[in-house]
Amino acid sequence: MTHRILLLDDEPAICEITSILLKKLGYDAVITSKGEDSIEAYRAALDQGARFDVVILDLSVPGGPGGKEVIAALLEMDPKVKALVSSGDANDPAVSRFRDFGFTGVLMKPYTKAVLDETIKKVISPE
């Protein structure tokens, strides 16, 4: 079974690189650059009975909802959503207290292929 990953990031280079990494790791990835698109993609997946296994949300998305706002919307739709907050700012409260914001884990930028895979696997199959 291929796990489905939804990624929100406003930086085209991160979207491209992470998309390639996810595919190499065997994941089926949907990439969005706007919070609204992430919410809509998640809603559509739920409607089709094909929920995402993990959502990776960039905290700051200029000009629209970022990770904190998107996770709030996703939790309303699906209280069982598994989401990673993705950021380069370890001091942001959503990173240091990620569970308080509804996130399952943290993916610090920049990340390697190995860290990406390990972090996703921990969320999909917590020990």
Element (H, E) at 64: none
Interval 50-86: pLDDT, tens: 999 999 999 989 989 999 999 999 999 999 999 999 9
* Number of domain units in the chain: 1
The b/e string for 23-43 (b: 16+ C-beta within 10 A; e otherwise) is eebebebbbbbbbebbbebbe
Domain enclosing residue 58, as ranges: 4-124
What pLDDT digit, counting tens, does each position of 22-60 carry?
Answer: 999 999 999 999 999 999 999 999 999 999 999 999 998
Q: What is the CATH number of the domain that holds 17?
A: 3.40.50.2300
